[in-house]
């Protein structure tokens, strides 16, 4: 799994498109529909863009702590074999002024926990700033 994160409008999508330009890629925009799709194996890579919106949807569902759901999701992805084909793009929501609204604070915290799980288990982690990648992690297979 390749985890790509950075601030809003810092060039994450463009960087991923350029980085994987020679590959067959299926994009899922979680901004439009924050429900995870059934991941199919037709493409070389599957991109989940807007992961923070999925985390926000988990908060509103009130079933379980979102970061625990993400932890289970990571294991499910690994078991299903989709793990090596997955690219997750998330916007950093934990910087700046802490929101007054309790739900917005919870979203900020849960995204941080979820991103920690993603980064810990990902083979590659890139932080994008102004369209430039800073590789934070790369595991050699």
Summarised one tens digit per residue, pLDDT across range 10-59 is: 999 999 999 999 898 999 999 888 888 877 667 689 999 999 999 999 99
pTM: 0.91
Place of tokens 């009130």: 62
- Rounded distance, CA 133 to CA 64, Å? 33
* pLDDT recorded at residue 41: 65
For 78-127, the pLDDT digits (tens) are 998 888 999 999 999 988 888 899 999 999 999 999 999 999 999 999 99
Spatial contact of 67 and 110, defined as CB atoms under 8 Å apart? yes
Q: Which CATH class is domain 2-134?
A: alpha beta
């Amino acid at each position: 799994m390749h985890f790509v994160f950075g601030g809003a409008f810092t060039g994450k999508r463009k960087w991923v498109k350029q980085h994987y330009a020679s590959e067959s890629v299926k994009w899922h925009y979680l901004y439009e529909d924050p429900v995870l799709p059934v991941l199919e194996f037709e493409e070389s890579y599957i991109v989940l863009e807007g992961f923070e919106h999925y985390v926000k949807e988990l908060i509103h569902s009130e079933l379980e702590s979102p970061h625990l759901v993400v932890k289970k999701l990571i294991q499910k992805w690994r078991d299903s074999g989709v793990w090596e084909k997955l690219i997750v793009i998330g916007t950093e929501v934990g910087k700046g002024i802490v929101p007054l609204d309790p739900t917005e604070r919870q979203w900020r915290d849960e995204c941080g926990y979820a991103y920690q799980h993603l980064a810990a288990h990902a083979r590659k982690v890139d932080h994008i700033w102004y369209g430039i990648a800073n590789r934070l992690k790369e595991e050699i297979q």
